[in-house]
């Protein structure tokens, strides 16, 4: 695995070196002795621009190393050359990193690009739509936020924590709109999922204090 990681990290440089070796070999020994380094060099360079180094970002994202993840993304100079599903993931990751830095304008811009390209998995699309809903709510655009979150639920979300977060957001929107019956329904759905994320669990406890006193 470490070898594969190093290969992804340095495949552009290695590809260029192999092409140089192939050219020198071609000049002095002919094409066929140079064929293999030509082939491997082209494959490595193609892989760098077509697949990108996104696999390297996983360990940084899991450890919460935003700067490390941004450095890897920064090595992608020509995102339009990436394979379409990978390009979608690239923009989604840029959006998520911008969210972590509370750069909501950049987050929305990049996540929209990712959604427009189409996500490789429905759950990933649902998670992106949920993020877009949260961004809309940050801007107090409840109508757009509700639309995105409902779409996220229809598409499917990756786990019960995200589902609970979506239902709680809809509960909050319904309370703002004074649609108390719908608010209670969404609250029950969120609570039934028994989320363990501290922030979500605490939000459920806070809402539970006064939601039973609501009419409807």
Check whether 120 has a pLDDT greater than 80: no
More confident site: 152 or 100:
152
Q: Which helix (H) or strand (E) holds 17?
A: helix 2-29
For residue range 160-182, what is the model confidence (pLDDT) as tens digits? 999 999 999 999 999 999 999 99
Residue 11 has pLDDT above 90, yes or no: yes
Q: What pLDDT score does 1 carry?
A: 59
- Give the mean model confidence (pLDDT) for residues 86-99: 90
Q: Let me know the angle formed at the C-alpha of 96 by 91 and 97, rounded to the nearest 5 degrees.
A: 95
State the Cα–Cα distance between residues 40 and 47, nearest whole angstrom. 10
Query: 190 and 171 in contact (C-beta within 8 Å)?
Result: yes
* 134-145 per-position pLDDT tens digit: 999 888 899 999
Distance, CA of 136 to chain centre? 17
């Amino acid at each position: 695995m470490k070898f594969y990681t190093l290969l992804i990290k340095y495949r552009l440089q290695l590809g260029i070196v192999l092409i140089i070796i192939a050219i020198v070999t071609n000049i002095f020994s002919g094409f066929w002795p140079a064929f293999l380094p030509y082939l491997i060099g082209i494959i490595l360079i193609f892989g760098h621009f077509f697949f990108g180094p996104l696999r390297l970002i996983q360990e940084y994202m899991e450890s919460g190393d935003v700067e490390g993840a941004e450095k890897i993304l920064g090595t992608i100079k020509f995102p339009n050359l990436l394979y379409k599903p990978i390009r979608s993931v690239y923009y989604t990751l840029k959006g998520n990193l911008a969210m972590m830095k509370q750069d909501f304008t950049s987050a929305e811009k990049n996540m929209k690009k990712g959604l427009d390209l189409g996500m490789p998995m429905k759950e990933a699309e649902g998670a992106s739509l949920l993020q877009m809903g949260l961004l809309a709510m940050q801007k107090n655009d409840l109508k757009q936020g509700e639309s995105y979150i409902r779409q996220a639920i229809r598409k499917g979300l990756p786990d019960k924590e995200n589902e609970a977060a979506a239902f709680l957001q809809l509960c909050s929107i319904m309370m703002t709109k004074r649609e108390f019956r719908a608010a209670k329904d969404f609250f029950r759905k969120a609570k039934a999922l028994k989320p363990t994320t501290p922030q979500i669990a605490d939000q459920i406890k806070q809402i539970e204090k006064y939601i039973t006193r609501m009419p409807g």
